[in-house]
């Protein structure tokens, strides 16, 4: 069995699904996983702790968490340099910063639509944190980001199985994500693209709350506004899926036991190998 290790440092919504998405009904016989995390913190201390995963000798490593340009994330990468590794994060989005990551031999998937949470004690508590992740996960799952990440990892695994390592280097855009969902209804696709743009806007708003504002009122308002937009994006994503339900054209691509992807469109048909 192919061994995939995950280092989760801090949290983005994609962190919640990245491992589960590779084996959604826990029946794949071709891969095994190991996930290690030190929780929400992402300092160099947590980075060091992530070295423990190496003992398990993963064949592919996924490092996932916020802003891959921060010191903690960089420290983790330093540990895994030389091993086949894919970095998944909401940033950096700038070409130069991404090139540095690629230059170090890492694959990456940058997801600006997996937005910064309104992480201020003046607004966020454990319930609100989970709620934001729920909304973000809804957008990412319906609009194609979850599938993009999963298929890209699946492709990397396949490439390694074929002895020809190819790691993704992707700056995700709303349009690229939506492509992965193979929408039949073009309005469903437009809604999905719209929802993803809204998710990107959330990052912008929450960044003000997290890094710029200083007073309780503007902080709480900005964080609340960001979370409202996230919730509105989740609703638009939901509408997208309802449109596909109306046409009985929801694209489903489950894994076969063998790990291969299958496909079905109509709810009452069986999935078939692609």
**Binder among 75, 141, 157, 177 for a copy of itself (CB under 8 A):** 141
* Number of residues binding to a copy of itself, judged by CB under 8 A: 111
Least distance (Å) between residue 175 CB and a copy of itself: 7
Peptide bond into 68 cis (omega under 30): no
Binding window for a copy of itself (CB under 8 A); candidates: 21-29, 82-90, 104-112, 161-169: 21-29
Could you say whether residue 200 binds a copy of itself (CB under 8 A)?
yes
Least distance (Å) between residue 103 CB and a copy of itself: 29
Both structure tokens of 115: 């937005």
Could you say whether residue 27 binds a copy of itself (CB under 8 A)?
yes
DSSP characters over 194-228? HHHHHHHHHHHHHHIIIII--SHHHHHHHHHHHHH
Region 69-108 residues binding a copy of itself, contact defined as CB under 8 A: none
Could you say whether residue 47 binds a copy of itself (CB under 8 A)?
no
**Binder among 64, 70, 88, 135 for a copy of itself (CB under 8 A):** 135
Region 158-177 residues binding a copy of itself, contact defined as CB under 8 A: 174-175
Could you say whether residue 273 binds a copy of itself (CB under 8 A)?
no
Least distance (Å) between residue 146 CB and a copy of itself: 5
Could you say whether residue 57 binds a copy of itself (CB under 8 A)?
no
**Binder among 95, 96, 103, 127 for a copy of itself (CB under 8 A):** 127
Question: Dihedral, CA atoms, 229, 231, 235, 241, nearest 10 degrees?
Answer: 110
**Binder among 134, 158, 159, 169 for a copy of itself (CB under 8 A):** 134
Could you say whether residue 63 binds a copy of itself (CB under 8 A)?
no
Least distance (Å) between residue 135 CB and a copy of itself: 7
Question: Dihedral, CA atoms, 227, 173, 164, 1, nearest 10 degrees?
Answer: 30
Which pairs with CB-CB distance under 8 Å and at least 24 residues apart come from 25-31? 25/254, 25/255, 27/255, 27/257, 28/255, 28/257, 28/258, 28/259, 29/1, 29/257, 29/258, 29/259, 30/1, 30/2, 30/258, 30/259, 31/1, 31/2, 31/3, 31/4, 31/157, 31/259
Q: How many residues does the chain have?
A: 274
> Cα(47)–Cα(71) distance, rounded to whole angstroms?
9
Binding window for a copy of itself (CB under 8 A); candidates: 75-83, 89-97, 162-170, 186-194: 186-194
């Amino acid at each position: 069995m192919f061994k995939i290790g995950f280092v989760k440092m801090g949290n983005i919504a994609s962190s919640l699904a990245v491992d589960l998405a590779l084996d959604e009904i826990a029946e794949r016989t071709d891969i095994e996983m190991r996930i290690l995390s030190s929780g929400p913190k992402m300092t160099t201390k947590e980075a060091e702790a992530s070295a423990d995963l190496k003992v398990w000798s993963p064949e592919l490593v996924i490092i996932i968490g916020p802003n891959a340009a921060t010191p903690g994330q960089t420290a983790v990468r330093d540990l895994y340099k030389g091993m086949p590794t894919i970095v998944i994060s909401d940033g950096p989005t700038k070409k130069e910063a991404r090139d540095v990551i690629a230059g170090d031999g890492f694959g990456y998937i940058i997801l600006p639509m997996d937005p910064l949470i309104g992480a201020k004690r003046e607004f966020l508590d454990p319930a609100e944190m989970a709620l934001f992740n729920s909304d973000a996960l809804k957008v990412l799952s319906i609009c194609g980001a979850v599938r993009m990440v999963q298929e890209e990892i699946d492709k990397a695994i396949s490439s390694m199985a074929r002895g020809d390592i190819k790691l993704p280097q992707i700056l995700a855009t709303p349009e690229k994500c939506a492509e992965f969902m193979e929408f039949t209804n073009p309005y469903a696709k437009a809604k999905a693209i719209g929802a993803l743009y809204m998710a990107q806007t959330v990052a912008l708003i929450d960044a003000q709350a997290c890094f710029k504002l200083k007073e309780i009122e503007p902080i709480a308002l900005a964080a609340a506004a960001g979370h409202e937009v996230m919730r509105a994006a989740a609703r638009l994503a939901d509408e997208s899926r309802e449109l596909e339900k109306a046409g009985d054209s929801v694209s489903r691509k489950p894994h076969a036991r063998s790990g291969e992807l299958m496909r079905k469109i109509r709810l009452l048909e069986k999935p078939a190998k692609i």
